[in-house]
Structure 1
Amino acid sequence: MAWYTVGTVKVAANNATVSGTGTKWLSGARQGEAFVAPDGQLYEVKNIASDTSLTLTQVYRGASASGQAYALAPMQGYVKELADRVASLLLLSQTEWEWDSVLKKTDLQAAPNDPTAWKILTNGRAFGLGSFGAATSYDHWPTASLDDVDVPAGMYYVSTAITDRPTTAPGVVWHRQTGTVGAQIYVSSDGGVVHRGRRSGTYRAWLSTLNVGEFGLGGATTTPSNGRDSSNPFGWYYQTRAVTWGGGSFFLDMPYGSNMNAGLRLSTDPYSDNFYLNGGVSGKREYRPACKLVHDKNIVGDVAGGSVVQSGSNSNGNWIRLANGTQICRGQVTFSGNGWKPSSPVISYPMAFTAPPTTVIQPLSDGSGYYAVPQMGMGSGSGSFFIRDTAGIVDTGTSAAVDYVAIGVWK
């Protein structure tokens, strides 16, 4: 590798400082290189202060002189040319480059609305960064409206002076655009997060980002914003306020349309197996009366409370009630002695009917040849029948028994 010999030097006897004229030692010399002095001796370079000043490790032992030839000879085991090339990229002057220089302290751009075209990198806590945030002028949205195009990509503070904000509160916007396509994410100071995209130079509508637990989704139930007695945004709610259309106080509201009219409500009573559905009233935020759902745990039970089938028994017989109002009673009536002849025996139903039922009677033979027929106008709580003997058979019986089935309504 060639020695560096650009320019001339001035040396002084018994002095370690060497001055140069026309020299470029910051780019052409290195600490540790050999300085071939005008006296013909070799001296080690201790330090390079500037393009025109360097210091030797020893004082110059020759006679003082100026305008002298010299040489700098590489003496260490590195690739000097590579080191020189890297150093040239980091110098503070390269006027032929588009940026005028590389990493020059005036070359680092600040915010687009800063009145100074070029700025150096800020130190920690300058402008409030790293402590309490940036000052309001440095990262402020640079135009009058968030809808404006051709704004450099970045994160900006949006004050209430900026128009077309998605909320009334100030906030921070993340902005990115590529030609006519772009996007923005806005975080307001009240905690809301909204976003929107842009195509063909036009922004779409702002869309809200749903927080975990909002409207009871992703978290526990929440209080309905419009109350239990109105339709609410889609969500899972709890409120004990009584409503005319019934249903449970835990409920899922599913509205429809831009007016948030009532659509469908699914609800349950707290800590129970009771579930309800409400359909919406057309064009209103009101629901129709609740329908109680039938399932394996309530299909048999209290029909007055919503079950399909209810049954029971007592000393008068067995009974079955259906949700549609049908009631069936059945049993057996037994008479001993002769007191039942010729009077009309009475049937007492295990559950009363709301109107006289249709009754079928089946006599049980005891060998005495009797049969039974119902009396006209059976009552709703009881009925009577006649006992008739069979012609040609001698009455020897001392008891009678009949089975009956009565079918009517309980409501």
Structure 2
Amino acid sequence: MTIYSTGTVSVTNGDAVVTGSGTAWAVALITGGMFSSAGAAIPILSVDSDTQLTLSYAWSGATASGATYAIARENSEAASVIDLNDRLARILVTLSLVGIHPDASGTIADRDALTLTVGDKGFLFLHAEFGLPFLFYRWSGTAWDGPFDTRGAAGVGTGGLGLPTPGATNKFPYYSAASTVVLGDITAFARTLLDDTDASAVYATLGAVPVANIAATLTPDKAFRRGNILGTVAQSGGVPTGAVIEAGSNSNGDYVRFADGTQICRRSIVTVNTTANIEFTSLVSFAAVFSATPNCVISPITTNNTVTGGYWRANSISTVAIEFKSTVNIISTNTFNCVAIGRWF
């Protein structure tokens, strides 16, 4: 039996912690085994450092300082093998969650004994050895790249990677809180989006959005469609905020307003005059008010041939006037079309 007994120890009755002096338990790769002193023997739960270890249960012997002791190394080495295998199994399961599968594992000597060529580029080797952290090496085709750490943030999760174990199908790890990693669901469809490299690829994967999925309540500033191209135009600071086209009519004719501020009003003007050589004036309103005096075009539809002359003009932002004379005393009915073009803001 191989015994480790370098240095001395201090033990306290009722306390599981053993303190060493001149010891090197961690360096000696002692991870377990049987601790004995003064005729009492208790299994080791953990080796915390070179000078501290914790027993499986409280020391039942007498309190002592500077005492001799012994650790059965055969038991410790067996525990080290079990510990290594347990950690290796955990890390392999955890790595599989993110699609990493080492091609081989062992010591650095085992790695260097491999015969690899350019065709083996990407070969992954997991360095797994007593007392050392797990590390990855990747074959570049001509040499080893690495080492790459397999551990996550200290104290986060289990299994060496900072990820929860065991894993499960269609799951992915994420932080649910500070220093807390859990598994969430990920569907087969979601995975088809994860490998898309840009927005164009995502749109290609998603395909066309069905018309039925377009909300009928989308505001005009979000999207224009058949349902909201026509409506009430509006603006804020000169920026359109409503529909594209607004159309309406009333007793003064009809109008069309556009989102850019253009407004067109149209109406018919009917005039009647009975006195010769007296200038007749007709003043009528537009169907909608302009923001400034518009330009007008007026053309006769029917007129009495006694009308000798006249003119028309936009009188204000809300009215248009037409004036003319007749050569004889006669009831003269005249109809004109008026088109006014200007702006509503």
Q: TM-score, normalised by structure 2?
A: 0.41
Larger RCO (CA within 8 A; separation ≥ 6): 2
**Greater percentage in helix:** 2
